[in-house]
C-alpha cells in the first residue's frame, strides 16, 4: 500500500512542479527521492538508517579471511574449514539447506571469538542488520530440563519467525554441552534438504553450535601427534571430525546425546579447535596489551604465557583455559 501511494504521488509530481520555483522544485524532487527510497522495502538508503534485510549478501570474503587468519591464533584447521563452508553457502544463489557448523574444543580456544567474527563480517555494511544475529545461551535461555517442551515450542517459533523476516539469519547456540537432551532436535525440520516449509525458505540461514564436548578427545590426539614428533599442521581433519561426531553422540554431557541431527547427517561440519600452546597464548597476551592501550612488554608476555601453559602437568604444553583469562591477567599486571 505504501508503494502504491508513493507511485500515485510521483504521477502527480509534474503538475505540482509547475507551481514551484526552481529552488523549490529541486528541494521537492530531493525530498521525493528520499521518500521513495524510504518507502521501498529494500532500498540502500532505508537499509543504511533503518533495520531491514534483503537477499543480497554483504559478506566481504577477503576481509573475513584476513580477520580470521590475523586474529585467531593456533586454529588453522578451524579457520580453513570455516572459510570453505561459508564461501560455499554464501556464494550459492539458493543453497539446498542451511549451513550448520558445530565448533568443538576446550574453553578459551576461540569458538565464541570466531562466531563473533563471522557475525561482524556477515552484516558489516548495514549495522542495524546485526539484529538478525540470534545468540542462545543454554544457561540463560534453557536453564531447566523440566521445561524442555516449552523451550522446544519457543525455539521453533523464534527460528520460524526470524527466518521469515530475514532469510540470511545467523543463529548461535553456546554451551551446547549443557543443553537439555532432546531440545536441539526440535529444530531438525529447519536444517534439512527442503525447498520451503510452510512458505518459508531456510537455505540461507546459518546455524553455529559451540561445544566444550569433544575437547578432551581433540587434545588427546594433538598431544599424541606432538609426542610422536609430528607437526601440529599434520593433524588430519577427517580423523578429528569423525571422532567428534561419535564422541558427542554418545556423551551424556553433550546436548547432542543421541541427537537426530547427527543420525540424519544434518550437521555439515564438525570443526575442531585445537588446544593452545605457549606461543599462541603469548600472541593473545600481545593482542590484549594492544587493545588495552599498552606498549608491548616481552617480559610480561612471557610471564603470563608460561603461567597459563599448564597441561599436561609434566610437559606443560597446552593452556587448559586457552586464552580465556588473558584479559584479566593483563589488567592485573599493568
Binding residues for ATP, by number, are 105-112
CB-based burial label for 43 (10 Å; 0-12, 13-18, 19+): middle
The b/e string for 125-150 (b: 16+ C-beta within 10 A; e otherwise) is ebeebeebbbbbebeebbeeeeebee
Which residue carries 543420525 as its cell?
263
Would you state the cell numbers that stand for residue 14, as one nine-digit string? 509534474
Helix (H, G, I), strand (E, B) or coil at 268: coil
Please list, in sequence order, all residues whose beta carbon lies within 8 angstroms of the beta carbon of residue 141, skipping any fewer than 6 positions away: 151
Binding residues: 105-112
CA angle, residues 322, 174, 84, in degrees to nearest 5: 80
User: How far from 250 is each of 143, 148, 184, CA to CA, in Å?
Assistant: 22, 20, 15
Report CA torsion sign: 276, 121, 93, 136: positive
CB of 68 within 8 A of CB of 62?
no
Amino acid at each position: 500500500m505504501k508503494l502504491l501511494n508513493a507511485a500515485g504521488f510521483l504521477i502527480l509530481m509534474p503538475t505540482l512542479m509547475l507551481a514551484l520555483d526552481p529552488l523549490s522544485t529541486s528541494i521537492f524532487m530531493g525530498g521525493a527521492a528520499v521518500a521513495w527510497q524510504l518507502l521501498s522495502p529494500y532500498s540502500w538508503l532505508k537499509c543504511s538508517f533503518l533495520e531491514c534485510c534483503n537477499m543480497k549478501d554483504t559478506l566481504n570474503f577477503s576481509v573475513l579471511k584476513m580477520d580470521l587468519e590475523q586474529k585467531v591464533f593456533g586454529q588453522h584447521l578451524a579457520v580453513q574449514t570455516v572459510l570453505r563452508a561459508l564461501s560455499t553457502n554464501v556464494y550459492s544463489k539458493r543453497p539446498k539447506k542451511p549451513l550448520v557448523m558445530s565448533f568443538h574444543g576446550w574453553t578459551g580456544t576461540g569458538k565464541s571469538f570466531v562466531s563473533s567474527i563471522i557475525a561482524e563480517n556477515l552484516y558489516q555494511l548495514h549495522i542495524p542488520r546485526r539484529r538478525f544475529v540470534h545468540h542462545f545461551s543454554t544457561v540463560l535461555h534453557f536453564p531447566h530440563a523440566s521445561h524442555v517442551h516449552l523451550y522446544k515450542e519457543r525455539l521453533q517459533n523464534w527460528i520460524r519467525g526470524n527466518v521469515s523476516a530475514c532469510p540470511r539469519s545467523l543463529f548461535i547456540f553456546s554451551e551446547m554441552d549443557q543443553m537439555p537432551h532432546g531440545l536441539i532436535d526440535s529444530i531438525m525440520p529447519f536444517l534439512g534438504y527442503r525447498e520451503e516449509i510452510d512458505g518459508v525458505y531456510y537455505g540461507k540461514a546459518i546455524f553455529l553450535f559451540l561445544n566444550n564436548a569433544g575437547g578432551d578427545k581433540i587434545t588427546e590426539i594433538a598431544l599424541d601427534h606432538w609426542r610422536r614428533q609430528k607437526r601440529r599442521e599434520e593433524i588430519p581433519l577427517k580423523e578429528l571430525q569423525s571422532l567428534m561426531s561419535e564422541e558427542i553422540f554418545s556423551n551424556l554431557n553433550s546436548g547432542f546425546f543421541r541427537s537426530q541431527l547427527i543420525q540424519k547427517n544434518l550437521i555439515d561440519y564438525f570443526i575442531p579447535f585445537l588446544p593452545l600452546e605457549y606461543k599462541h597464548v603469548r600472541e593473545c597476551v600481545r593482542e590484549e596489551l594492544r587493545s588495552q592501550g599498552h606498549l608491548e612488554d616481552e617480559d610480561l608476555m612471557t610471564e603470563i604465557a608460561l603461567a597459563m601453559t599448564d597441561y599436561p602437568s609434566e610437559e606443560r604444553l597446552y593452556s587448559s583455559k586457552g586464552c580465556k583469562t588473558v584479559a584479566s591477567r593483563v589488567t592485573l599486571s599493568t
